[in-house]
Amino acid sequence: MMLFWLIAVPLLGGAACWGSERVLGRGAATLALVVLALETLLFASLPPHAGDGGGWLMQLAWPWIPRFGIGFHLALDGISYLLVALTLLLGFMAVGCSWPEIDRHRGLYYLNVLWTLAGTIGVFLAIDLFLFFFFWEVMLVPMYFLISIWGHENRAYAAMKFFIFTQVSGLLMLIAILALVFCLEHSSGMLSFDYLDLLGQRLDAGTARWIMLGFFVAFTVKLPAVPFHTWLPDAHTQAPTGGSVLLAGVLLKTGAYGLLRFAIPLFPEAAREFAPAAMGLGVVGILYGAKLAFAQTDLKRLIAYTSVSHMGFVLVGAYAFNAYGFQGAVMTMLAHGISAAALFMLAGALQCRLHTRDMGRMGGFWTAAPRFGGVALFFSLAALGLPGLGNFIGEFLVLLGGFRSNIALTAAAALGLVLAPVYSLHVVQRVFHGAAAASLPADLRASELALLAVLMTAAVALGIRPQPFLDLSKPALAGASLIPESRRAAAGAKPEQVGAVGAEGTQGFGGGGRGAVR
C-alpha cells in the first residue's frame, strides 16, 4: 500500500494547495513543503535493500481492467528507488526556489508542481505498460501548464512545442505497447499489459526491431537525443525556475529510465543489434550539445544544451551492454539531475535579480556576489566532471563500459570531457569575471544558499561515496543485457497484494521475475 500512497499523497496535496489558495496565499508553498515532507517520511519507510540483494524491493498489484489484461501493478527496485529519491529531493528544490519568484496563482502553481512529481513517481513505479503510459501522460500535462502560465516572454510557443513533441512520442510508444501486447496474445493466447508477462516473449527479428524502435524513439525524445532534442532549449529557456529544475532534474530521466527498464530488457537481441546506432546518436548528442552550449549567449539556453550533451553519456552507457555502462548511465542520471537543477536555480536567481538571461549584459559579479560566484564555480566544475563529484563517477563508468563495447565511438564520446570545461568555465568567465556590468546582483540569500548547500552535499556524496548507490542499483541492472527464456518459466504467480519480494524472484532487470509476495 505504501507504493500507492507515494503517488496519492502529492496528488491530494496538490489539490489541497489549489483549494486553499485564497486562504493561504504565500502559505501554499509551506503546504507544498509539508506534503513533500510527508512523502519523504513515507519513502523513508520503504526497504532500501531486498532480502538477497536482488529482485524487487516491493510490489503492489490490484486488478484494474481485467477484461483487457490491465492491472494496477507498481514495483520498486534499486533503480526506481534511487530515481524516486532524486525526484523528492528536487521537488523540495523546485518548491523552495519558487517561493520568491511565483507571485500569482500560487496554489495552482504548486498543484502543477506536485502533480508533475506524482506522475513522475508513477512512471518510475509502474510496470504494467498501460499504467506506465497513463503516468507518462499525467506528468506532461502539469508541466505544460507550468511553462504556459508561469513561463517567460515566449512561453506559449515553448509550451506548445514541448507538448507536441512529447505527445507525438507518447502516441508512438502507445502503438509500440499495443503491438507488443497483440504479439503476446497471438503467440500465447494471453492478453496482458504486465511487464513480467511481456518479458522474454518470442518475437521474430523484424517485428522485434520495429517495436523496439517505437519505444526507443519515444524515450529518446524525452531524453532528449539528437535529432529529437529541439523542444528542450525552448522549454528550459521559457520555463519558470521550478519548472526548469523538474524538467532537467527529473523529467529527462524518465526517458533514460524507459530505455533501461523497457526498450532493452523487452527486446535484448534487437537492442544489441541497434546498439552501435544508439551509441552513435549518444556521441552526436555529446559533441553537438557541447558545441551549441558554447555558442549561446542566453544563460538558461546554454545550460539546456549542456543537458543534451550530458544525457548523451547516458545513451552511450545504456547501449554499452555491460555492468560498467549500465551503472555509469544510472550514476550520470543522478549526478546530472543534481548539477543541472542547481545551475538552473542559479540562472533563475540571476534572472529574478537582473531581469535578463543575456550573458552579454553580465560580468564582474564575483566581487559583488562572492557566494553566487563560489556556488556557480562549484557546479560548473561538477558539470565538467571534476574528480570527487558525482558527474565524474558516472562519466568514467560510461566510458569504461563503452570502451569494452565500441572503442571508436567511445573515443569520440571522450572528446566531450574536453569540451565540457570549455563551456563550463566560459560561463564563469563571462558572468563572474571581466568588466563589471552596469547592474550587479545581490548575493545569495540564506534560504537560497541553504537549498544549494543540500545539492552540493549530494554531489559530493555521489563522488566520494558512490559505492552505496552502485550497490543499490547493481541487482536491478544484473541481467538487463540478456534475458534467458528460462526466466519466464521460473516466474511465479502474479502478485495480488502488497508485499516485499525476496530471494524467490528470478533475477534480471529489477529481479526479472514476479517472485513470491509475502
pLDDT attached to residue 482: 36
Q: What is the pLDDT of residues 58-100, one digit of tens each?
A: 889 999 999 999 999 999 988 999 999 999 999 999 999 998 8
pLDDT attached to residue 55: 66
Q: Is residue 517 part of a domain?
A: no
pLDDT surpassing 80 at residue 507: no
Name the pTM for this structure. 0.90
Question: 262 pLDDT band (50/70/90 cuts)?
Answer: very high
pLDDT surpassing 60 at residue 161: yes
pLDDT surpassing 60 at residue 486: no
- How many domains does the chain contain in total? 1
SS3 string, 206-244, reads HHHHHHHHHHHHHHHHHCCCCCCCCHHHHHHHHCCHHHH
List Cβ neighbours of 432 (8 Å cut-off, separation of 6 or more): 363, 364, 365, 366, 372, 373, 376, 377
Q: What is the pLDDT of residues 329-339, one digit of tens each?
A: 999 999 999 99
Domain span including residue 99: 2-511
Q: Is residue 332 part of a domain?
A: yes
DSSP string, 189-208: S----BHHHHTT----HHHH
Q: What count of Cα atoms within 13 Å lies in the side-chain half-sphere of residue 115?
A: 22
**φ and ψ of 74, to 5 deg:** -115, 150
DSSP-derived secondary structure letter, 298 = B
Q: Percent of the chain scored above 90 by pLDDT?
A: 69
Question: 502 pLDDT band (50/70/90 cuts)?
Answer: very low
Contact 348, 301 (CB under 8 A): no
Question: 408 pLDDT band (50/70/90 cuts)?
Answer: very high
Distance CA 285, CA 303 (A): 14
pLDDT surpassing 60 at residue 493: no
Residue with cell 541481467: 479
Residues 247-259 as b or e (16 or more Cβ within 10 Å = b): bbbbbbbbbbbbb
Distance CA 166, CA 160 (A): 10
pLDDT attached to residue 506: 31
Q: Is residue 148 part of a domain?
A: yes
Q: Is residue 90 part of a domain?
A: yes
Question: 488 pLDDT band (50/70/90 cuts)?
Answer: very low
Distance CA 137, CA 150 (A): 20
pLDDT attached to residue 74: 94
Distance CA 442, CA 350 (A): 9
Q: What is the mean pLDDT of residues 468-481?
A: 76
Q: What is the mean pLDDT of residues 373-400?
A: 93
Q: Is residue 518 part of a domain?
A: no
Q: What is the mean pLDDT of residues 482-498?
A: 37
pLDDT surpassing 50 at residue 497: no
Distance CA 486, CA 179 (A): 23
Q: Is residue 255 part of a domain?
A: yes
| Pick from 151, 150, 127, 115: nearest CA to 70 | 127
Residue with cell 563550463: 424
Radius of gyration of the chain (CA): 22
Q: Is residue 257 part of a domain?
A: yes
Q: Is residue 450 part of a domain?
A: yes
Q: What is the mean pLDDT of residues 413-420?
A: 91
Distance CA 329, CA 309 (A): 13
Distance CA 326, CA 398 (A): 7
Q: What count of Cα atoms within 13 Å lies in the side-chain half-sphere of residue 449?
A: 11
